[in-house]
Copies of this chain bind each other. A is one copy, B any other.
Amino acid sequence: MSKWVYLFKEGDASMKNLLGGKGANLAEMTNLGLPIPQGFTVTTEACTDYYNSGKKITEEIQVQIFDAIAELEKIQDKKFGDNADPLLVSVRSGARASMPGMMDTILNLGLNDEAVEGFANKTGNPRFAYDSYRRFIQMYSDVVMEISKTKFDEILEGVKEAKGYTLDTDLTAEDLKEIIVKFKELYKKEEGKDFPQDAKEQLMGAVTAVFRSWDNPRAIVYRRMNDIPGDWGTAVNVQAMVFGNMGETSGTGVAFTRNPSTGENGIYGEYLINAQGEDVVAGIRTPQPITKLEEDLPECYKEFMDIAHRLEDHYADMQDMEFTIQEGKLYILQTRSGKRTAQAAINIACDLVDEGKITEETAIARLEAKSLDQLLHPTFDTAALKAGKVLGSALPASPGAAAGKVYFTADTAKAAAEKGERVILVRLETSPEDIEGMHASQGILTVRGGMTSHAAVVARGMGTCCVSGCGEIKIDEEAGYFELGGETIKEGDYISLDGSTGNIYLGDIKTVEASVDGNFGRVMEWADKFRTLSIRTNADSPADAKNAIALGAEGIGLCRTEHMFFEGDRIKKIRKMILSKTVEAREAALNELIPFQKGDFKGLFEVMEGKAVTIRFLDPPLHEFIPTHEADIVELAEEMNLSVEEVKATCDSLHEFNPMMGHRGCRLAVTYPEIAKMQTRAVMEAAIEVKSEKGFDVIPEIMIPLVGEKKELQFVRAVVVETAEAVKAEKGSDIEYHIGTMIEIPRACLLANEIAEEADFFSFGTNDLTQMTFGFSRDDAGKFLDSYYKEKIYESDPFARLDQAGVGQLVKMAVEKGRSTKSNLKLGICGEHGGDPSTIEFCHNIGLNYVSCSPFRVPIAKLAAAQAALVQK
């Protein structure tokens, strides 16, 4: 027989997976001899069993719960369901990872029509007793039976109105009795049966409700946001009630051992005299700072401070504690490692190391890598944000917070920025011509386009806040306004964007600039000491590269050359190339591009000072460079001295049914080797010149995208080598260069042993690999992914967190097969997963050499890499 239920005294802090965080800590504190209202924990395994048994709690588990109640009765010296002096309990969720407010709680369980009388008698406080009972009925009906809470509130308000009261506290014991009768009538009407009078029936209903709440929609969303697996389940803690609302020597509060916003060492918290937890949450009365407790109840304060320090020392971490004082006696209801801002986390970690309480390893292991994002992008001022009105929400395409005046064209945005205005560029969708306007903006909002749209990709590279794909917007760019959330926003009006959540706010919300202080650098140094993975960045321009180096990047893992084609006059030249009808004409047009490409590469090589630079050759299908609007086509035809029909015919011939699976990547280099030749020449000339001019040891890495077959890479490699050797001979240089490939097609993984014969390195392009492996495109998946989350088919977005079971299997296969051919094959990842901590751990474990991510994710990647190395140790 399995053990499904543990008394607090049977557990300890190490049993978090089984007892949940709250249960394990209650057990630990019991062992430490702290004043804990006693109780027991129904395990997370019981929750899993509940789901596996078709949402039923088995007889065996029920028996163990009732046995534990019997034990608790002995400890408390009260009887559960007793009419004279009933044992009342709280029933609370408690998962392995803290999920505050996501799941359900029931207080005062054990009361019924008769027990409430005994309870009134025993406490000598009938009003208190009846208030406890009506609260219980309401909470139980809401949580267990899912009867809308507002129906009860209506009854309560009705009575208050009839009596001419304004406050709940005006209600007398008799009023509350009347309300209880009405509550029970409502219950019977809704459920077709009486409110349960049997305490054990109440208890099993409450436990079931907590298990069920593990799968409520907000818990599912929270888990997805926080990478918590859906099969963990929650434990249930049943604990004897204590009451903070029994008079002026009672109270309840919450406190942190250090400041959770700044990390400052010193108790930080608040409390309310004569109140229950829910009153604090309800916000009707304003809580007092915890230091005030010293005046009100000095003994309790002293005892609490002792316990707080003891708990922080015991756990060697900042603690977040809940306590209740019942008639002058202090009880600790919960302790846990406190949630904190990234800034506080770093400061606390450094302080604890300095205080000798933890090692550097522990400090690194405890930090949440993802949260560093907060430190690197502006955020909204918390208070200012509360006052903001949310107009709508769309895709969080590039993180950070931004506020500014709305402009609808790149030109007006640029002009306004030059006048010193903060600008938000709002567009139906952005296109290459908008680059300068995007650069001048604080934030970018688009109506169309997904996480890989032009706006999203460019904004992430720039580190500019971007919210994309807000289909609810009705926009009239020409008239200069848009409608959203019932408001009409005109040019020059202020809006604010949160690129980390996707929220769009009305008005000018104050932002707080990112700042990294000395402790951040210290943490990064520790991370560098422990990690074995190298961290590179995805950067397409010297500015991006400079940013990334400042944040600690050790090389460029992905430079997307196509972005270089959009700037200024270049787009015209690339269009000329596309419209060429012969190889010769195409070569001539490409030759005009060489000086630009070469200049771009020189800029990169100079900034990188000899660090690795991986340059990916042209990847997108050519139609991405061609205009779609009639007017632009006419203009292009004039410029190119072609008929509109000819230009249209070319555009038509480039049309693709599924561009993601079309004529792109190395397929372009196979059909138009002259493009690869041009790019090779630009790379090699730039490298040779920077090497001789600056003395940096430049070894360019040329990366061929979308390879699925060895002979494909063999062909393109031959083209590259021929040109590279020719350039070397022309310049009399003996420069080294490497040629590798992106592994982003399932077939490339399956045949990696063959492909490795032609490759000096592999870089996993997990964006495309995920698309092909799942068979859905990132831009289209939005239509059904929400249903998939709702039905618990997927727990997380496979484009944000690598699907290790499926895509990861292919990556691992490619690593093993590739290294079986070339044991020293250099391996990296350059998909957006390269900045995701769980993916980085996976990359470490399968033996990659580096990960590459956007500049602002470099610190996150470093920390995650260090954590992965520590876990492995």
Contact = CB atoms under 8 A, between A and B. Distances in A.
Interface of A: 471, 653, 656-663, 667, 670-671, 706, 708-709, 711-712, 715, 744-747, 750-751, 768, 771-777, 779-780, 783-784, 787-788, 791-794, 803, 805-807, 809-810
Interface centre among A706, A751, A793 (most CB of B within 10 A): A793
A35 to B, nearest CB: 45
Given A659-B657, A791-B715, A793-B670, A746 B768 contact: no
A432 B102 CA distance: 50
Contacts of A768: 775
Given A671-B787, A768-B775, A775-B772, A780 B657 contact: yes
This chain's copy number in the assembly: 2
A523 to B, nearest CB: 37
Given A670-B793, A751-B805, A772-B746, A662 B783 contact: yes
By Cβ-Cβ distance, the 8 closest A-B pairs, closest first, are A661-B777, A745-B775, A658-B777, A662-B780, A747-B806, A663-B783, A658-B658, A657-B779
Given A746-B746, A746-B810, A777 B662 contact: yes
Contacts of A658: 658-661, 777, 779-780
A747 B771 contact: no
A771 to B, nearest CB: 6
Given A658-B779, A661-B661, A706-B775, A784 B745 contact: no
B661 A775 contact: yes
A773 B750 contact: yes
27 contacts: A471-B653, A656-B780, A656-B783, A657-B659, A657-B777, A657-B779, A661-B771, A661-B776, A661-B780, A662-B777, A662-B780, A667-B784, A670-B787, A670-B793, A671-B783, A671-B787, A708-B806, A711-B793, A711-B794, A745-B773, A745-B775, A746-B746, A746-B773, A747-B773, A747-B803, A747-B806, A750-B773
A746 B708 CA distance: 14
Contacts of A783: 656, 662-663, 671
Contact of A750 (B656, B780, B806): B806
Q: Most B CB atoms within 10 A — which of A658, A750, A779, A807?
A: A658
Nearest to A786: B671
Contacts of A775: 661, 706, 708, 744-747, 768, 772
Nearest to A809: B750
Contacts of A787: 670-671
Contacts of A777: 656-658, 661-662
Nearest to A655: B780
A657 B660 contact: yes
Contacts of A750: 773, 805-806, 809-810
A743 to B, nearest CB: 11
B657 A784 contact: no
A793 B662 contact: no
Contacts of A708: 773-775, 806
Contacts of A657: 659-660, 777, 779-780
Contacts of A663: 780, 783-784
A809 B748 CA distance: 12
A794 B780 CA distance: 30
Contact of A773 (B662, B772, B776): B772
Given A657-B660, A671-B787, A747 B774 contact: yes
Q: Which of A706, A780, A792, A809 has the most CB of B within 10 A?
A: A780
